[in-house]
Amino acid sequence: MLGDVPRHQVPDLMRQYDITCALSRWPEPYGLVVSEAMASGCVVWGSKRGGIPEVLGHAGVQADPENMDDVCKRLRPLLTDDAFLIEHKKAAVLRASELSWSAAASVLQRCFQNGTPPLENHLQFKPDCLRSERPIRRF
């Protein structure tokens, strides 16, 4: 355990590793560590809970943290298949670039120009709140 690490040292520290584990048993609302790890080129081995799957998109490896067989099954290819690891590292960096403030600003700018709500037309995947059948509230 490293203890407290100054913010400016986090990216360099994360770049020293290939895999970041975010197997939270708690339904994290947003996985900040997940997005930081992906931006640093790490594959995230994360929970199928809370906001982690939405942050990961298809770039990470998801497991049920309560099921050790699933946890091991999802980690194994990252440790044994170099091509799988490299493919997911590239996907992680690409996914992280979609989560930047400038990317979010671009989506909002297009929405304002087109007059369309951002979540309906501009996300590559839809968050859980849009998967339901209930109508979307428009303001």
- Dump pLDDT digits (tens) for 8-61: 998 899 999 999 999 999 988 888 899 999 999 999 999 999 999 999 999 999
Q: Which helix (H) or strand (E) holds 43?
A: strand 43-47
Number of domain units in the chain: 2
- Average pLDDT over all residues of the chain: 84
Query: Looking at the DSSP assignment, which residues form a beta bridge with residue 39?
Result: none
Three-state DSSP class for 19?
A: strand
Residue 33's Cβ-count burial label (10 Å; 0-12, 13-18, 19+) is buried
Per the document, the length of the chain is: 139
Could you tell me which residues are beta bridge partners of residue 63? 47
The pLDDT value recorded for residue 122 is 44
pLDDT of residue 129: 41
Range of the domain at 132: 100-139
For residue 1, tell me if it sits in a domain: no
Tell me the pLDDT tens digit for each residue of 75-134. 999 999 999 999 999 999 999 988 888 887 887 888 788 876 655 544 444 444 444 444
- Do 43 and 60 belong together in one domain? yes
Is 104 inside a domain boundary?
yes
* Paired residues of 45 in beta bridges: 21, 61
